Amino acid sequence: MYTLAEPMATLIYISAELWGSIMLSYLYLSYLNESCTFRQHSRFIPPLFILINFALFTSALVTSAMRYFITKLKNKTRTKLLMMSEIFFLEGIMVLGVLLCKYYLEKRVLNTPLFIPRRMERSRRPKPRLSMKESFNIMKKSKFLISMCGIVFFFNVMANLLETVYKLGIKESATQRNMEASEYSAKLNNYDQYITSLVVIGLNLTSFSNITNTMGWLFTSLISPSVAIFGVVFILGLGTYNSATEENSFSFINSMFSGRTAFYTLENYGGMLVMAGIKIFKYTSFDVTKEKISMRIEERYRPKFKSIYDGIFNKVGKSGGSVYSIMANAVFKDISPRGIAPITLLFSSGFIFVWIILLFYLGANYNKSINNQKPIEIDLFNEEDEEESEKEEGEIKEGERINERPKETEKVKKIVL
């Protein structure tokens, strides 16, 4: 209903979501994947997340300033509109700056080779490449790709479900206290921004940024589902209890807690800390391990694999949580969306269980790749597909050997980071 009532706000929100995904996942992280070695990539990720969260901290400061001025200019509509217009104008200038950086990276950085053999020159004949159709045929048969899609999907589903229940709790709490829900929600979101940005910057400035190297890929990757488990118990548990005190849950739960005191402050502020924790460990755990294992994928598969699990399933996971909420509301019409938290808890437990199983599988493959110093195996489902993939790989390597010819030695500038 909000989408239909506010089409312009919806368009801006969708554009912001797409812009963030395209800039971070498709462009910058793809540039790192293609331009850096595995060790260089590992060193560049912490500074990248520091910059991202410095921007988030700046956003928190701007949000605080906006809330202050909007309160001061409560009865001055024209002045508020001018202020908001100026902010959007400045954001447009920053977007143009990002596009200029993108142009510079493409024209000046990516076109400059870092490592070139001294006595070898590539032939003008194009080397054999997999077509898009052949790549998708391999993708849908790969256990590894399915597992990567699974962990991205479950992370986003869980984050979406918990955030939905958390925000419904904020709305109900504001109603019970005769407060404006938008202002109360903006205040908690502002606190969330400060906590997330400062903690992520702090962790990336400490030895925690090397936790994958010291404690292992599997240990680091299990941090996010562990936080999700705590979030499920805390947010959904308190959501069930408080909705039951309002008699907005299932009848047998309402009878158990009817007349009890609701803990709105604990639900709201505790939920805000849990959601901040999910975002913190997204940057310092989930994204780090996802990018590290992505760097172990063979180069001919990596861009297309990333476009599947980072591009498609990232959004499918977010929309999956929303679809669940819509379906649950349609089935349980007489119960508050927060009141069906017990059902959500059961689904969430299943999601986290499968998520952890997939992480153990990926962790074993990652360790095998590191120990053998080889690209990670995409693990095809049957032997025929595996033989076909090996044959194609052999043809590509043979084509590279045929197309390379020795030439006179030339001096080449080598950049070492």
pLDDT-based confidence at residue 124 (cuts at 50, 70, 90): very low
- Number of independent structural domains in the chain: 1
Polymer length in residues for the chain: 417
Greatest mean pLDDT among 41-45, 90-94, 239-243, 270-274 lies in 270-274
Residue 239 CB neighbour total at 10 angstroms: 29
User: Which pLDDT value is given to residue 20?
Assistant: 64
Contact status, residue 35 vs residue 114, Cβ threshold 8 Å? yes
As given in the structure block, the two tokens for residue 132 are 């898009």
Residue 416 lies in a domain: no
Q: What are phi and psi of 9, to 5 degrees?
A: -65, -40
Q: Looking at the predicted structure, is the pLDDT value of residue 215 above 70?
A: yes
Angle at 74 between CA 71 and CA 78, to 5 degrees: 125
User: Which pLDDT value is given to residue 394?
Assistant: 54
Q: How many CA atoms lie within 13 A of 178 on its CB side?
A: 0
Question: What percentage of the chain has pLDDT greater than the value 90?
Answer: 27
Q: Which of 50-59, 69-78, 138-147, 151-160 has the lowest mean pLDDT?
A: 69-78
CA distance 60 to 56: 6
CA distance 73 to 289: 46
Residue 179 lies in a domain: yes
User: Which pLDDT value is given to residue 362?
Assistant: 95
Q: Looking at the predicted structure, is the pLDDT value of residue 378 above 60?
A: yes
Contact status, residue 348 vs residue 158, Cβ threshold 8 Å? yes
Residue 417 lies in a domain: no
Contact status, residue 338 vs residue 172, Cβ threshold 8 Å? yes
pLDDT-based confidence at residue 412 (cuts at 50, 70, 90): very low
pLDDT-based confidence at residue 138 (cuts at 50, 70, 90): low
Mean pLDDT of 261-277: 93
Q: What is the separation of C-alpha 150 from the centre of its chain, rounded to a whole number of angstroms?
A: 13
CATH number of the domain that residue 281 is part of = 1.20.1250.20
Residue 215 lies in a domain: yes
More confident residue, 196 or 182: 196
Domain of 297, in residue numbers: 2-406
More confident residue, 141 or 359: 359
Tell me the pLDDT of the chain averaged across its residues.
79
Residue 177 lies in a domain: yes
Q: Which residues pair with 122 in a beta bridge?
A: 404
Nearest CA-CA partner of 32 in 114, 143, 122: 114
The burial class, CB within 10 Å (0-12 / 13-18 / 19+), for 191 is middle
CA distance 137 to 190: 45
pLDDT in tens, 222-258: 999 999 999 999 999 998 898 888 888 888 888 888 8
Contact status, residue 221 vs residue 150, Cβ threshold 8 Å? no
CA distance 388 to 166: 49
Segment holding 38, helix H or strand E: helix 38-72
Contact status, residue 80 vs residue 73, Cβ threshold 8 Å? yes
